Chain A
Amino acid sequence: MARRISLVNFKGGVGKTSLTVNLAACLAHEFGQRVLLVDCDAQSNSSIWLMGAPHWSVLNEKPQNTIYGIFMDQNVAHPIHLNVIKGVSREDGRVAIPTLDLLPATYSLMDLEHEYKNADDYPYFLRFNLQISQFFNSYDYILFDCPPNVFRASKCALFSSEEIYIPCNPDILSYVGLTLLNQKIDAFQKQTVAYHTLAQDYRLAQIRGIILNAMRGTANYDTVIKTMEAWIHNARSSSAVDDNAEVLPRMIRHSVSAGRAVQEHKPVILCDGFPSLTEDYIKLAEYIHHKPLQRATAYQPIFQPDKLKKTKKE
């Protein structure tokens, strides 16, 4: 059964995408895990990063071939498993990480927020869950790269996740909103309680930690780390926060040249010239890989297609 992890923060520019892409790559490349990266951000940065702009631009014309296919008329959309790009990371035209796959996004995903209307029986997050659940047994990890908000796309990811990590820069601005984020997650989980038993292998997603990104060696982050620790200390009483939540001891150093990895359409681990950054990502992946997840008991019974309709009619 795959570990399903969302990387979420209200704030933009805290490194959600770079963490997701590189964490996924390290888990696959260094630890031999089968990883599916699901791009839930309409900005499509992880998709562009891993696919390269030319390939992604072609895809941008075909929303039925992307994650948005889940929400399209099923007569038009492709079966979602056909939209997964296997071994997405390539080097000189060859697959570089065979166990890293991508379910890409394009700008069309933005329509989920405004245009998409819930079908009678299936709210968007349940529809997403039922489609994504076909991958639960074929991967070791499913990582959701979320946009900097808690709108529909993020909610889809949260509904299908069991773990949440919050990327933060070591400044107070990226801390701002953690309380609100926690409240939003908590409220969403309460609002959707009627659907938990209808979802496939539903688990209450919990915040497991804050990942500090872009740390500069010489700076003093004492106050900001103290603030984050104090926040976690208090937030553990919330059902959306794991009892063992922490500011992860593995942190990612700042690097001015990491943008080159994006230009080369490769995760950092495949690029030359970033030994410290590569080491940080590997150590972070190793830490998360070994941070055991005490799985809560899954909701029963497993979804039966006719059950929901019946309940609604009643």
Chain B
Amino acid sequence: MELQEKIERAGALLEANKAIVKKASIAKFVQSLDKALDIFLKNLEPELYRSTSEYVELAALVDAPTNKKVLTKQWFDDKANLINRKFAKFTKKEKEEMIIELVKTGQAQMVIDGLKTTPEKRSQHLFSELANLSEQEARQCIEKMKPKEIEEFCRHNQITTEHTKKGTFDRKMTTPHVFKKLQTVRDYLKL
């Protein structure tokens, strides 16, 4: 008899013979079966969640070297809050546990979407867009951006920023760095 059939048969017998099952000679077996099933389900559940596409995608995003800057301790703390948990350190095991919980509570997709549209990602997408425009078109777009936006854009795209003697962001001196990096990628795109 297959395991599944045995479980079904045991379930049917338990249901049909409630009085007999309570007898001391049988009750201890029922108790150990109950315990074994608890352990089985406890171990099976994470495996089931681990084999979902949400788990796989979120785990990949959390591991991706390109997301390193986004995934700060604060980010992990925020996500742990979603599942009412606190982790002292975000070790590999704890991250895995957190992702499983996020999948289990149905919040994984929201976190995936969030990771895909973080300000960092938006800046990186903007960079891709600008790299596909001509220099003149890109220049027009950059000119429309506020200094704070350019500063953020540079930070997220690893572009050097310049500051005035007073320590404020120097737009004029920074934009050549932006165009230089854009031009490098634009030159490569022509290959």
Q: Chain A: which residue is nearest B116 at the CB level? A: A246
B70 within 8 A of A: no
Complex interface: chain B residues within 8 A of A287 (CB): 56-57, 60
How many Å from the CB of B91 to the closest CB on chain A?
A: 16
Complex interface: chain A residues within 8 A of B66 (CB): 225, 247, 249
A128 within 8 A of B: no
Q: Which of B127, B132, B188 contacts A172 (CB 8 A)?
A: B188
Complex interface: chain B residues within 8 A of A292 (CB): 53
Complex interface: chain B residues within 8 A of A232 (CB): 128
Residues 169-187 of A contacting B (Cβ, < 8 Å): 172, 175-177, 179
A230 lies within 8 A of B127 (CB): yes
A3 within 8 A of B: no
A249 lies within 8 A of B63 (CB): yes
How many Å from the CB of B75 to the closest CB on chain A?
A: 16
How many Å from the CB of A245 to the closest CB on chain B?
A: 12
How many Å from the CB of A34 to the closest CB on chain B?
A: 18
B67 within 8 A of A: yes
B177 within 8 A of A: no
Bound complex: CA of A292 vs CA of B53, how far in Å? Answer: 8
Bound complex: CA of A228 vs CA of B44, how far in Å? Answer: 39
Interface majority SS (helix, strand, loop, mixed), chain A: helix
B124 within 8 A of A: yes
Complex interface: chain A residues within 8 A of B185 (CB): 223, 226-227, 230
How many Å from the CB of A197 to the closest CB on chain B?
A: 32
Complex interface: chain B residues within 8 A of A215 (CB): 65
B128 lies within 8 A of A249 (CB): no
Q: Chain A: which residue is nearest B62 at the CB level? A: A249
B131 within 8 A of A: yes
Per the CB 8 Å criterion, the residue count for chain A at the interface is: 30
Q: Chain B: which residue is nearest A233 at the CB level? A: B128
A172 lies within 8 A of B64 (CB): no
A227 lies within 8 A of B188 (CB): yes
A176 lies within 8 A of B191 (CB): yes
B181 within 8 A of A: yes
B188 lies within 8 A of A175 (CB): yes
How many Å from the CB of B80 to the closest CB on chain A?
A: 21
A223 lies within 8 A of B181 (CB): yes
Q: Chain A: which residue is nearest B127 at the CB level? A: A226
A250 lies within 8 A of B60 (CB): yes
B184 within 8 A of A: yes
Bound complex: CA of A296 vs CA of B92, how far in Å? Answer: 38
Given contacts A226-B131, A233-B129, contact A249 B67 (CB under 8 A): yes
A222 within 8 A of B: yes
Bound complex: CA of A134 vs CA of B191, how far in Å? Answer: 40
A249 lies within 8 A of B125 (CB): no
Bound complex: CA of A230 vs CA of B130, how far in Å? Answer: 9
A226 lies within 8 A of B67 (CB): no
How many Å from the CB of B96 to the closest CB on chain A?
A: 12
Q: Chain A: which residue is nearest B125 at the CB level? A: A233
Complex interface: chain A residues within 8 A of B131 (CB): 226-227, 230
A290 lies within 8 A of B57 (CB): yes
B124 lies within 8 A of A249 (CB): no
Residues 64-103 of A contacting B (Cβ, < 8 Å): none
A110 within 8 A of B: no
Complex interface: chain B residues within 8 A of A294 (CB): none
Rank and list the top 7 A-B pairs by shortest CB-CB distance, nearest first. Answer: A249-B64, A233-B128, A290-B56, A290-B53, A230-B131, A230-B128, A249-B60
B interface residues with partner A (beta carbon < 8 Å): 51-53, 56-57, 59-61, 63-67, 124-125, 127-129, 131-132, 157-158, 181, 184-185, 188-189, 191
Extra inter-chain contacts (11) besides given A176-B191, A215-B65, CB under 8 Å? A172-B188, A175-B191, A177-B191, A179-B189, A227-B131, A230-B185, A233-B129, A249-B61, A250-B64, A283-B59, A290-B53
16 of the cross-chain contacts (CB-CB < 8 Å) are: A179-B189, A223-B185, A226-B128, A229-B124, A230-B127, A231-B189, A232-B128, A233-B129, A234-B132, A247-B66, A249-B63, A249-B67, A287-B56, A290-B51, A290-B56, A291-B56
